[in-house]
Amino acid sequence: MKPTIADLRRDYTRDGLLEDQTPEQPMSLFARWFEQAVETETTEPNAMMLATVDADGQPHLRTLLLKGFDERGLVFFSNYDSAKGRQLAGNPRAAMNFWWHDLERQVRIEGRVERVSAEESDAYYFSRPLGSRLGAWASPQSQVIAGRSVIEQRLQEVERQYADSEPPRPPHWGGYRLLPELVEFWQGRPSRLHDRLNYRLVEGRWLRERLAP
């Protein structure tokens, strides 16, 4: 008999998360957890879910790759004219979720989003492989197209255009930084009594709270 959804149950026993093990600033703990994820996870530990909201209040969710973080916030890149770009232009707030399966950990982050500087966008763009740089020119991200051949034809045109020169960064492509206002660290524990430590930014200072699982 094939297993059902109800049969897919796992008890989390790997680790715990106590207040005396955590720093005052959430990004310090995030850096520690991210480093451990890089060492442990087998597939793209920088993968995350990004949620945005459109003008009608409809949430939208997709998987992206984190491309940098520091005490200021977390950075990702996209086409400014994409669906997420338009949604962020209308409502510059978003939520991220990281799930690190092997470590039995999850991190939720909410806050305001702003574009990174042109210099930061340039630096990342020119670090990308040539194919990815050309792809940023070729794809009208999120727009309806007639078929795969449309993208292939556009890529060929861009390749010819920049056959003898480096493609510049497209003006419609660049980075965003999510400025955290809430960061929740979730560590799986037995019997579904998970550890949840929540950091909230209150009047410029981080307040740490334990949440019931």
32 assigned to a ligand binding site: no
- Known active-site residue 192: yes
162 assigned to a ligand binding site: no
52 assigned to a ligand binding site: no
66 assigned to a ligand binding site: yes
77 assigned to a ligand binding site: yes
| 192, 200, 205, 210: the active-site residue | 192
Q: What are phi and psi of 212, to 5 degrees?
A: -65, 145
Q: Which amino acid is present at 113?
A: V
Rounded Cα distance, 201 and 87, in Å: 24
60 assigned to a ligand binding site: no
Tokens of 130: 């040539």
Rounded Cα distance, 138 and 159, in Å: 9
11 assigned to a ligand binding site: yes
Q: Read off the DSSP letter of residue 208.
A: E
Q: What are phi and psi of 72, to 5 degrees?
A: -75, -40
Rounded Cα distance, 96 and 36, in Å: 19
9 assigned to a ligand binding site: yes
Instruction: Output the CA angle 50-114-58, nearest 5 degrees.
Output: 40
Q: Which amino acid is present at 56?
A: D
Q: Which amino acid is present at 136?
A: A
194 assigned to a ligand binding site: yes
| Annotation: binding site for substrate | 9-12, 67, 124, 128, 132, 192-194
Residues with catalytic roles:
192
Residue positions forming the annotated binding site? 9-12, 62-67, 77-78, 84, 106, 124, 128, 132, 141-142, 186, 192-194, 196
Binding residues for FMN: 62-67, 77-78, 84, 106, 141-142, 186, 196
